[in-house]
Every structure is written in C-alpha cells, then in structure tokens.
Amino acid sequence: MVKIVATSLQASLDEAVRRLEREARVAGGIHHPNVCAVSDFGKLDDGRPFLVMEHLTGESLATRLGRERSLPIAVAMDFAYQMLGGLDAAHRRGVIHRDIKPENLFLIEIGLGRHLLKVLDFGTAQVLDTSSPYGDELTDTDRVMGTMAYMSPEQLKGVRDFDARTDVYSAAVVIYEMLVGTRPFGDVPSDRLAEAIAFTRAPSILHRLPNLAHPVARAIDTALSVDRTRRPADAAAFLAMLAAPPSPTSIVDRSVPEADPLQIISDWDLPTHQNRAQDDWDLVTLERDRRALVASNEDVLSIDVKIDREPLR
C-alpha cells in the first residue's frame, strides 16, 4: 500500500509532509506483528513524499465499534493484548505513539472469527531516545498532538516531558470503550471534555461492567489514573497487570461461552495460510503463550518478552 500526500494547500502540505516523514522514520524501525510495517519512503517527481506500507485488508476498530458498539470480553481483551504488544515494541525503541484510538487500530480477519490487530499511524509519534539519529527532529514537544477523547491528562495540560504512560492512558480508554461501548467520559459535553479528562478521576469500569474480572478492572482503572505516576510504567507493565491470574473470587463474564478475559488463544487449530497475516498471528500467539507462562510468577514485571521480525525485502 502506498501513502501519498494529496493536499494542495502549502500549510497543510508542509504539515502532511512532516507527519509522513515522521511515520516513515519511526514506524520503519519497529518490526512487530502488531505494528503495520513500513518498507520504503521517497519522493515523487513532483516533490511529494510517499510511504510504502504493508497491504492490509480488513477494517479499523472504529468501524467495528461503530457497528457493534461494544465487544464480548474475550474479544476485547484479545485486541487489548495485541494493541499493547505493538505499543510495547514501540516503547522499547523509545517511541511514544501519542494518538492511540480505534481509528488507528486495524483488524485483519485470519479465520475462525479471529483477527490480527495492527497499530497504525506513527505520524504524531514522539521519540524519547535522543541518541537516535532523528530523535531531536521528531520530538515536537511544543504542540498538543492527538485526539482529545483519547488524550492523556498530561497531553491536555501541555506537559512536555511525555513518556510511555501517555500511551498507557490512551490504550486504557480504548479498552474501556471496547468493553463498555462508551468512553470513560462519554457523557461529558464536548466543551467540558478536556477539563474532565485533565483533572477528574475516570469512573471505575466496574460501575458500567460489574461482571468484569476484578483484576482486569483494577488494571484498567489504574491505567486511567490522572496522576501518571500511579499508572503502569509502559505497555509491557500494563499488559502484565491485565494478564495477571485472577483470584478465585474474581467475577468473570459467563454470558459468552468460554469468555474468560484471560483466556489464552492457541494457534494449533488454525488453518495454515502462506501469507503475512498468518505469520504475524503465529508470532502473536507465541508471544502470548510466553506471557501466560510467566504471568503467575512474582517477578512478572521484570521478565523481558520480546519478538522482533525482519522487515519485508
């Protein structure tokens, strides 16, 4: 798939070019099955830049939620694990996405009702690694970047020293929306939304979904803390909290057969397809199996689980 700047307005063109170059440099260095791969970047004869990305067939999470509003717990948690896996790959490289929302999460059907999720659009990303050859060019700390309904409190307050916890907050909003069908502040008028997000504690997800496993609810509520020091440090830490074994008294949703939100889906019964999506799904399930094995250990947060893949040639 080729992405080309199409605008004819110079101001818009300059911004679009800046975002496209940012996406090429940042996403091109992240190789993970849950991140849309970027394989090439250049300029057309007329000077417009282009970006070559892997071809994706499916729909955005926004489209899916627009049709179904909320998702079964098992499905929502599967998507949450994959989203955080992709963000973990970015965070390991010192990259903060800054615009996590359903529109930037793409679903590819791979059979048997299962989907591979891809994180898209690193056009507003911030690079924290100043040793990177393009780190200083891509920090862009003087502007508020993102989509208000999914922004973290510190983004809306204009804080400059971003870190991975801003993505953790946005990811928690997406997970909340997948499970409940509305965002934490979905009933707040638009003219008061920024203030509510920036200064108000989000309502516990258990108020909207009382049958959710309590450890999962606690992880989501913690990730939605206004004070970022109370949130998981990054996507890996948030994922570890979500995947922690529930206590025997935890409440889980039984409305859907085998809808345990902590169920680990095995790929052994999937049909074999010689395509990129299937290969990516295999890597995702392998990573999830590894996380499941370590989730019951006390040192789960210190275990380094990482899968890298070579870019397309």
- Other beta carbons less than 10 A from residue 127's beta carbon: 25
- Decide: 28 and 79 in contact? Cβ < 8 Å: no
Catalytic residue check, 267: no
Sort strands 126-127 and 105-111 into parallel, antiparallel or unpaired: unpaired
Q: Which residues contact 138 (CB under 8 A, 6 or more apart)?
A: 22, 25, 26, 125, 126, 127
**Helix (H), strand (E) counts: the chain:** 10, 8
Look at residues 236, 195, 201 and name the one whose alpha carbon lies nearest to residue 221: 201
Provide the β-strand partners of residue 146. Answer: none
Q: Terminal CA-to-CA distance of the chain, rounded, Å?
A: 15
Give the separation between CA 242 and CA 131, rounded to whole angstroms: 32
CB atoms within 10 A of CB 174: 23
Give the C-alpha separation, 84 to 151, whole Å.
16
Sign, Cα dihedral of 95, 107, 217, 251? negative
Q: Which residue has the tokens 């409190």?
A: 153
CA dihedral 224, 165, 117, 6 (to 10 degrees): 110
CB atoms within 10 A of CB 223: 26
Nearest to 304 by CA among 313, 291, 292: 291
Task: Spot the catalytic one: 40, 45, 88, 99.
Answer: 99
Q: Catalytic site residues? A: 99
